[in-house]
Structure 1
């Protein structure tokens, strides 16, 4: 299964449109919030099931975190601001352990992260609109095959 992960897009359609060329090859797309409306825009362009959550800059009445299972992996999707991810993953890690998450996908920092701790993958796709800590605009693709997870970052 191929999962596109994007977030902190902030209605920057120029770069969302560039990402679409990669995302249209995915089986599922996840959006980490800021701007939730962009997840609907991505779905409209790709026709691929797109799951998004509310970020700190969103005002839609939607979930701010979702837990679901794919290919026997328990996935925790959120924006991350409620877990102070700009200061580290300690708080979000605690929540992941409570939920029994195998994969934690979040945004908010605008900085790519691919880190495994306590057998939990913590993944932040970065931002295609306002990257921080780098000049590279990014999103990621997760490939799950034979119970193996591989993460690829795409830089625009």
Structure 2
């Protein structure tokens, strides 16, 4: 299975179009698209509302099953992710999530906690901390592979996790 994940595109339609054109089993936008809910670019993307999104029709979170994994997507501002992942961790446990996708900090990264993958794809438009603009690709089979890509689809960073088979 393969997930394509982006966040914090802040009105940049071209990056949303480019990233969403990639092949995957599901595509997610973790908020601050600054597009309207009914924008055709977002038609096949699981999209949540960020703190810069004015269209209130976006949900604050989505929980979908992809393959045998429950994927929770949020923006992160309502979970105080710039300080800690603790609030998001409790939400993930309550929702039974295997994978948690979030944005807001504009910094890419991934970590495992109690068998739950927490992933921030970074920002496709306004990265922070001197980092490049990025999106993420998550692939799993026997091994979980996470890669962060720049806007030219070059791999900026990656990691592999063996035995990603947590069951509920």
Give the shorter-chain TM-score range: 0.7 to 0.9
Q: Structure 1 residue 4 and structure 2 residue 4: aligned?
A: yes
Who is 1:130 aligned against? 126
Following the alignment from structure 1 to structure 2, what is the Cα–Cα distance between the partners of residues 51 and 137? 20
Scaled by the length of structure 1, the TM-score of the pair is: 0.85
Report if the CA contact (8 A) 1:9-1:38 is conserved. no
Following the alignment from structure 1 to structure 2, what is the Cα–Cα distance between the partners of residues 38 and 149? 33
Deviation of 1:15 after TM superposition, in Å, equals 3.6
Following the alignment from structure 1 to structure 2, what is the Cα–Cα distance between the partners of residues 117 and 70? 20
| Aligned-CA RMSD value | 2.0
SS at 1:74's partner residue?
Answer: strand
Q: Which runs of 5+ in 2 are unaligned?
A: 152-168
Following the alignment from structure 2 to structure 1, what is the Cα–Cα distance between the partners of residues 145 and 41? 23
Who is 1:149 aligned against? 144
The change in CA–CA distance for 1:130 and 1:38 in structure 2 (over 3 A counts) is farther
Deviation of 1:120 after TM superposition, in Å, equals 0.6
Following the alignment from structure 2 to structure 1, what is the Cα–Cα distance between the partners of residues 117 and 4? 15
Q: Structure 1 residue 54 and structure 2 residue 52: aligned?
A: no
Following the alignment from structure 2 to structure 1, what is the Cα–Cα distance between the partners of residues 16 and 75? 18
Following the alignment from structure 1 to structure 2, what is the Cα–Cα distance between the partners of residues 4 and 31? 9
Following the alignment from structure 1 to structure 2, what is the Cα–Cα distance between the partners of residues 7 and 106? 8
Q: Which runs of 5+ in 1 are unaligned?
A: none
Following the alignment from structure 2 to structure 1, what is the Cα–Cα distance between the partners of residues 17 and 131? 19
1:41-120 mapped onto 2 (5 Å cutoff)? 41-43=40-42, 49-60=44-55, 61-120=57-116
Higher helix share: 1
Report if the CA contact (8 A) 2:4-2:19 is conserved. no
